[in-house]
Structure 1
């Protein structure tokens, strides 16, 4: 697969400081079809390949169209910009792109627009967070050289690399203007399933010519476009694009209002200034006991999981019995009660049941079992005397309260002192990627596509340098490789499940819960659909379907 480059502070927008922004009082001219008001958190990037987190993707997937879009009922990929996607051997894929489509600036959407985007993401020196999605394509290794020895770094905190041998993927070819041929290094039956994710979206030439400008004024090809740009501090309004060639949205536009630093949208939802919102734990009981609000509540199975990930690059956490003991010490039901008992379900797998191939119940140490936890800790030689358990947590929404409950449970079970170390969101992302955290850390995952592989390979695969945990297992990587090369999707799903069994033995993370959707919508909107794949992205309704009544 090759080596995944770690994202650095050079990623656009990563270091910006944001402040909470109320949803009220807009003086913008009302759009025909109405303007939807949505909350948004901190956005890392609005150029495909540069986000890799839920907030940015919430915007990107509405201002860009990819090759496929996931069905709102089944989660299955359906052709969007692609006319057809075919292969005779699951290794060389031919993608026919629909003709007559363009970007917001009039540039054509064609094979080259996808090639330039994928090359940008794959090129190691760009240090983009979704670089690793390009790893299956031929030529990736030449674009991602090995890391230099630490004593050769100019800055001891910034890794440096050998010079890249190429700046384009040899496995990409524009057969003609609207035909893209993709040659993978090895067969991968699930490749078409991936293509609805941000990493595989096209990019306009004008965007690459001035990426800084494009971050503020994205040039997409989707149903919504920014006329006045996007500001990381205050958000922005994306209007329905009049020249969109696909099925046009019902609303006139969407205004994204920025909320960060632990703030949330519930107060503004109650005043009618935000149209779709999920309450935090503090407001949840009141919300579900309000008969008027409950009439406008959407509750369904979700696909987002919460994990406590282990820094296996730290000596203490290289002992599997330490990892197992901490997991068995967590009272998952008690932790869920912190946010409300029907807002999540305990998780005993790395892939939730709502995803194709998920729900295997693979984790043997995901039930609260104090006796087992204490015995495992004893087998590991006990906890280091005087050393607290550090729990690193991004400080959004209910995260701090949740991990205090995790810490309390571990402390009560194993008599270990703990401390919560809060971090700002983008700092947390960078620290995880750079392996600078010295204790277990909060890790959440929402799917990029509907396949159990998406919860396995991107998070834990490739080797210690390619995942946040520093997890290394040749057996696991070989199992993933075998599943990738299956002849049918059904066979690959079973083989990925076998790889999950290996993950269960090694436990690079402790599954905690799978979320349940609990969104509320305002009186002014209708046809509110919560997507089974995209429902993990922070509270979005399907903006392509929602209707404003007034």
Structure 2
């Protein structure tokens, strides 16, 4: 009978962990343990424990090659202008924010030592001391003032200009203190400062052909639409990380090509993989996946100021024509949650659970199309692989329309140039929105009358005034009530159909450690490069 010794110690655990790191196989380790008198069941348990410890222990060194899914010649290292996943991933590696959000959505300090206010309108930002930019310059209050004020300059073209406009004063108090005064109280400011666009750059920066940040990596190479290479910052101010020596980031727009590159070992990280690849990935022990549902969605945009969206009944008809269950099961292989045509996801504490998703009702849609005089009229729907699963979604809607006499034509266009040539411009097209942590940010970016990404050109003075009221409401119940009403308005009035919340799936080598979900989206909220490591 095999006996199990009672004196198996933590030192022996460490020995097994070391053998795993050196490449010992599971079979060899079990033989060794059983020859030492460890029962098979106990040995298996010990190996699981040791393997988990190895995976959770940061390893220094190595190069990571990671592929996103979208890029263009408009790729930028200017945080204010960032708009694609590739932009966000690079900015997170080369720069830092004043604050950042952890996996629970809690605000943590990054460049800021503290962000505080007595009335949610006048804020004081204390900076960490001794932080340096990649060129050796020491971080100071002037850099923060410059970085934040850029968003207010219309000539810069900041993607968060409408959000930043609430900052009526941004001034230096002393070398490490900045005062921010808002036009009205907003308790969300620490969360807002965690957005990718609010990265801090050095005062006076105008050249973004490279990046001079305080981030975990120094930009060695940046080729818009091609790739970027970052090398470890030896003077990084955080106590831990980064663990990688270098990382290379680029885009492989085609999902199959991205998956094949991972399976063949050409890359170690494939972002936003199509759910149709899940079975193939599961069959490979050397590959793992990270699945998170944080509010990412692909939406059908129908501009209310253009034909056919300007005709009463068309938008509502299209929302009833979206078979949400079919989209969930077919387009996303079940890796999605049914949504209700507004952008605040169930993971958000302000989500309105009483707002139902529209049922699939082709006959009701047909009646609305008839009244609009659109039944049988050819209507192009612009879709692209650039917007996750939009081609599949468009096909599902097209098929449903054909059964009631609607002539919906799927106009599939290339990924390259989609965001600059079709998004926000075509009368009927798809968007793909990354998660945002607060309703105020979502509504300000996408639905207020002056929103920079107002995808359907939704305009409502009532909505705009409610947005301002909710932003300054210190009464939490009143704030929730307003946000619930605003979600209902968007669902019923805006020209955006949001059928499902996408469960993002990133695929990576099983040797990659440190990955966690993040409320700002996949790839750990695009900040993965700083926090991951490659096990031996």
In the superposition, the TM-score normalised over structure 1's length comes to: 0.79
SS across alignment from 1:39: strand
CA distance 1:493–1:77, change in 2 (3 Å): farther
Going from structure 1 to structure 2, the CA distance change for 1:412 and 1:447 (only over 3 Å counts) comes to: same
- Quick one: structure 1 residues 391 and 446, their matched pair in 2 at CA, closer, same or farther if it must change by over 3 Å? same
**1: CA distance between counterparts of 2:498 and 2:335?**
16
Q: Secondary structure at the match of 1:316?
A: coil
Residue 514 in 1 paired to residue 501 in 2?
A: yes
Residue in 1 that maps onto 2:534: 548
Residue 376 of structure 1: how far off its partner (Å): 2.8
- Report the Cα distance in structure 2 between the residues aligned to 1:420 and 1:333, rounded to whole angstroms: 20
Change in Cα spacing, 1:516 to 1:349, as seen in structure 2 (3 Å) is: same
Aligned residues: 472
Does residue 401 (structure 1) correspond to residue 431 (structure 2)? The answer is no
Q: Which deviations, in whole Å up to 9, do the C-alpha atoms of 1:502-547 show, x marking residues without a partner?
A: 2223132111211113232213322322323232x69957333322
* C-alpha contact (below 8 Å) 2:116/2:123 kept by paired residues: yes
Deviation at 1:269, TM superposition (A): 0.3
DSSP-derived class of the 1:182 partner: strand
- CA distance in 1 between counterparts of 2:338 and 2:298 reads 10
Q: 2:32 — aligned with what?
A: none
Does residue 454 in structure 1 map to residue 441 in structure 2?
yes
Q: Say whether the 8 Å CA contact 2:60–2:533 is kept in structure 1.
A: no
Give, in whole Å, the separation in 2 of the partners of 1:541 and 1:203.
17
Distance 2:317 2:464 in 1: 25
TM (normalized to structure 2)? 0.81
- 1:465 Cα shift? 7.7
Distance in 2, matches of 1:459 and 1:107, equals 37
Q: 1:132 Cα deviation (Å)?
A: 2.3
Q: Which residue of 1 is the match for residue 268 of structure 2? A: 275
Q: How does 1:4-23 map to 2 (within 5 A)?
A: none
Could you say which residue in structure 2 is the equivalent of 1:436? 425
Does 1:242 find its partner at 2:234? yes
- Which of residues 75, 79, 84 in structure 2 aligns to 1:48? 79
Instruction: Give me the whole-angstrom Cα distance separating, in 2, the residues matched to 1:90 and 1:539.
Output: 26
| In 2, Cα distance between equivalents of 1:184 and 1:80 | 22
Tell me by how many angstroms 1:299 deviates.
2.9
Matched, 1:416 2:416: no
CA shift in 2, pair 1:538/1:408, >3 Å: farther
> Could you tell me how far apart the structure 2 residues matched to 1:42 and 1:408 are?
28
**2:329 is the counterpart of 1:309:** no
Aligned partner of 2:433 among 445, 448, 455? 445
- Structure 2 vs 1, CA of residues 95 and 522 (structure 1 numbering), >3 Å: closer, same or farther? same
Measure how far apart 1:444 and its partner are: 1.7
Displacement of 1:470 after TM fit?
Answer: 1.2
Instruction: Return closer, same or farther for 1:464/1:188 CA change in 2, 3 Å cut-off.
Output: closer
CA contact (8 A) 2:366 2:375 kept: no
Within 1, Cα distance between the matches of 2:196 and 2:135?
Answer: 20
Superposition pairs of residues 256-405 of structure 1, within 5 angstroms: 256-260=249-253, 264-277=257-270, 278-280=272-274, 283-288=277-282, 290=283, 292=285, 296-350=288-342, 351-358=344-351, 360=353, 362=355, 365=358, 367-378=359-370, 380-383=371-374, 387-396=377-386, 399=389, 401-405=391-395
Provide the residue aligned with 1:476 in structure 2. Answer: 463
Structure 1, gaps ≥5 residues long: 1-30, 139-170
CA displacement at 1:96 relative to structure 2: 1.3
CA distance in 2 between counterparts of 1:205 and 1:292 reads 48
Q: CA deviation at 1:425?
A: 5.0
Which of 54, 64, 68 lines up with 2:95 in the alignment? 64
How far residue 311 of structure 1 moved from its aligned partner, in angstroms, is: 0.5
- Is residue 222 of structure 2 the alignment partner of residue 230 of structure 1? yes
Q: Mark the CA change 1:190 to 1:338 in structure 2 (over 3 Å): closer, same or farther.
A: same
Q: Work out the CA distance in 1 between the residues paired with 2:475 and 2:112.
A: 21
Is the CA contact (8 Å cut-off) linking 1:530 and 1:540 kept in structure 2? Answer: no
Say whether residues 1:90 and 2:88 are aligned partners. Answer: no
**Long gaps (5+) in structure 2:** 1-58
Partner of 2:9: none
